[in-house]
C-alpha cells in the first residue's frame, strides 16, 4: 500500500540536484511575493503562482526524507 502523498524517484532526484533546499526555498518565497503582486493586476499569473506554491510544498515535504537518506550514506573523513 502506498502512502497518499507518495513522491516519485523523479521528485527526489530533482530535489537532490537542486541547490541547498533552504536557499531554494528563499528564492521561491521571493518569487511568490513578486508574482503575488503581479497577480493582483493580472490573473494570467495565476498558473505561475500556483506552480510556485506546489514547488515550495514539494521542497518542504521532501527535505526530511532527503535528510534521512543522507544518514544512510557512508561518512567521509
For residue 22, what pLDDT is reported? 77
The model's pLDDT over 3-48, given as tens digits with 9 standing for 90+, comes to 444 455 666 666 555 557 678 889 999 999 999 999 999 999 999 9
**Single pTM value for the model:** 0.62
CB 59: neighbour CB atoms within 10 A? 19
Q: Give the separation between CA 2 and CA 7, rounded to whole angstroms.
A: 10
What gap in Å lies between CA 39 and CA 66, rounded to an integer?
33
Q: What is the DSSP letter of 2?
A: -
Delimit the domains of the chain by residue range. Answer: 19-61
Amino acid at each position: 500500500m502506498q502512502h497518499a502523498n507518495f513522491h516519485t524517484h523523479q521528485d527526489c532526484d530533482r530535489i537532490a540536484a537542486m541547490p541547498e533546499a533552504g536557499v531554494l526555498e528563499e528564492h521561491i518565497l521571493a518569487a511568490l511575493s513578486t508574482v503575488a503582486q503581479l497577480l493582483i493586476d493580472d490573473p494570467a499569473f495565476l498558473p505561475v503562482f500556483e506552480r510556485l506554491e506546489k514547488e515550495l510544498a514539494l521542497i518542504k515535504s521532501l527535505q526530511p526524507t532527503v535528510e534521512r537518506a543522507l544518514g544512510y550514506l557512508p561518512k567521509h573523513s
